[in-house]
Structure 1
Amino acid sequence: MIRVGLLGCGNVAEVIASEGTGINITALYDFEHSHAEHLKELTGAPAFKKFEDFLSQDLDIVVEAASVGAVYEHAEDVLMSGKDIVILSVGALADTDFKNRLIKIAEEKNRKIRIPSGAVMGLDNLKIGQISPMSKVLLRTTKSPRSLRIETNEKTLVFSGRADECIKQYPKNINVAVALELATGHDVEVELWADPDIKRNMHEIFAEGDFGDFYLKIKNNPCPQNPATSYLAALSIITLLKNLEKPMIIGT
């Protein structure tokens, strides 16, 4: 059974621990050590105060469910130590130099960088863009003004432009766009809307190419423990981990 270390022990990690039956969690680390100690009660896995001690454990794969900053700080060390990594905070890979550095280390160490689908669906299908170029990829994300830390009484377009520009203004709202760029191999146009009437975060994906056209709308339910966290994102990691050792692979 694959041995999993959790880097980041917040709400996503708690869903993995409580609902990921059969996932062998063997080590825990969080910058806020109390979070790791809390998860220790659910998993029985040791919680480490020092990242170096966490990384020295006999792990097969490290699951990052912390932040873009945690990816910058720790992803290279994870790969250098001979372990695979799951990166949920994929916004860090908008930095092309950093992304290429991780890929180079992974190749040299014969390791894998795994990107879960996160808060959206359809990435598997959209990978066809890597072999048949797409003419358009648009992400339209709609959230409550509160989650974007703005005030408005009506539906308002707060950003329109490229994903690499959006990340400079709204770094916590760009993970989906970066995941789409990685999947399709195409620049993603982003529309970010604030809507005081919306109850759930909504992502709409539009893509066009030689294959035809594609439209998908996802309305995310929040994690039961924290409305700021996508339940779908947590479930996508559980699904990824459970399929690592299966003999039959579904999809591209």
Structure 2
Amino acid sequence: MNIGIVGAGAIAHFLLKEINQKDHNDLRIKSVFVKDKRKYETVASQFEVELFTDLTDFLSSGIDVVVEAANINAVKDLVPDIITQKDVVVISVGAFADMELVTKIGHLANKYNNDIHLPSGAIGGLDILQNAHALGKVTYVSLTTRKPASSLITEEIEEAQVVFEGKAADAIERFPKNMNVSIVLALAGIGMENTKVTLIADPHINKNIHHVEITGEFGEATFTIKNNPLPENPKTSYLAAMSILGTLKRMNGKIRIGG
């Protein structure tokens, strides 16, 4: 499967190293869409990819799927055009807090018979939530995220401090670079308005900790994920990067577990 990537940041570099420099079952990154070719010439030579600044040329470069590895604005600006031609893996799921955008992209995906894939990112257990909510019987979903204080606030604190408490839709608006997990959790379950989110700045930790609670007719589920940072970029979750690679491998496989 030939892959195109939008963006050339930390996650794109992780995927380029893992896929183009190792053996991953016929996966190959062929094209990278960037704003400035000159800035990323070393990427082209190091990973043997072609750089594009024109979206039409990028989509016509012999790729089978596009991975958005940029930011929320890239989702809003590019994915509506991409989905008319290719399947797309969206990393910046915070963009989907905008329900008008979700409706628009969903309509285009149906019209052009292409798929949108949302990796689970820095959390897990989404299959539990989706299965438990198959009959609309999940009644409560909460996410408590604890992050190093310096990644959330500028002032120094000595004790953990709640910096947000509310619904998922408001969490991503207040912290667009930190709460993608709340949106993918909301989309998998009971929605932006009903998914409860608490965000804590903690000066005593050096990794992100996500605690999820689910209640419904099926019973109860709780799980906690403690994420190490991506070695190349401490602001990015290692598991979030790995979830994209896992998504691509499942897309390319014939036996798919879970879901």
> Is residue 141 of structure 2 the alignment partner of residue 134 of structure 1?
no
1:199 maps onto 2:203 in alignment: no
Within-5 A mapping of 1:132-211 = 132-151=136-155, 152-186=157-191, 187-211=194-218
Q: Superposition pairs for residues 58-77 of structure 1, below 5 Å?
A: 58-77=62-81
SS in 1 for 2:62: coil
The answer to whether residue 110 in structure 2 is matched with residue 107 in structure 1 is: yes
Deviations 1:59-99 (A, max 9, x none): 2110001101110010001012x100000100001100100
Structure 1 residues 105 and 215, CA gap change in structure 2 (3 angstroms): same
Residue 32 of structure 1: how far off its partner (Å):
4.8
1:63-102 equivalences under 5 Å are 63-80=67-84, 82-102=85-105
Cα separation, partners in 2 of 1:239 and 1:153, compared to 1, 3 Å? same
Identical amino acids, percent of aligned pairs: 37
| Contact 2:171–2:182 (CA under 8 A) maintained in structure 1 | no
Q: Could you give the per-residue CA deviations for residues 116-171 of structure 1, whole angstroms, max 9, x where no partner exists?
A: 11111111221121424211100001111211133222100111000111222111
Asked if 2 retains the 8 angstrom alpha-carbon contact of 1:181 and 1:188, the reply is yes
- 1:13 CA displacement: 1.1
State the match for 2:238 in structure 1: 231
C-alpha RMSD of the superposition: 1.5
Q: Which has the larger strand fraction?
A: 2
Q: Residues 215-242 of structure 1: CA distance to partner in whole angstroms, max 9, x if unpaired?
A: 1111111111110111111111111111
Greater Cα shift, 92-101 or 43-52: 43-52
Instruction: Give TM-score scaled by structure 1 length.
Output: 0.94
Distance 1:188 1:214 in 2: 15
Count of residues in correspondence between the two structures: 250
Q: How far 1:34 sits from its partner (Å)?
A: 5.2
2:224 to 205, 208, 217: 217
The gaps in structure 2 that reach 5 residues or longer are none
After superposition, the Cα gap between the structure-2 partners of 1:146 and 1:31, relative to the gap in structure 1 and judged at 3 Å, is farther
Quote the offset at 1:31 in angstroms. 2.8
Stretches of 4+ moved more than 3 A in 1?
32-36
2:206 maps to amino acid: K
Gaps of at least 5 residues in structure 1 are none
- What TM-score results when the alignment is normalised by the length of structure 2? 0.92
* Higher deviation after alignment, 96-105 or 130-139: 130-139
Question: What does residue 51 of structure 1 align with?
Answer: 55
Q: Is the 8 A contact 1:91 1:175 kept in 2?
A: yes
2-structure distance, mates of 1:202, 1:133: 27
Q: CA deviation at 1:206?
A: 0.7
Quick check: 2:149–2:201 contact (8 Å CA) kept in 1? yes
Residue equivalent to 2:8: 9
| Closer/same/farther in 2, CA of residues 10 and 3 from structure 1, 3 Å limit | same
Distance change >3 Å, CA 142–CA 54, structure 1 → 2: same
User: How far does the alpha carbon of each residue in 1:31-61 deviate from its partner, in whole angstroms, 9 at most, with x for none?
Assistant: 3545643332332010113333222322211
User: SS state of the match for residue 100, structure 1?
Assistant: helix
Gap change, CA 1:213 and 1:33, over 3 Å in 2: farther
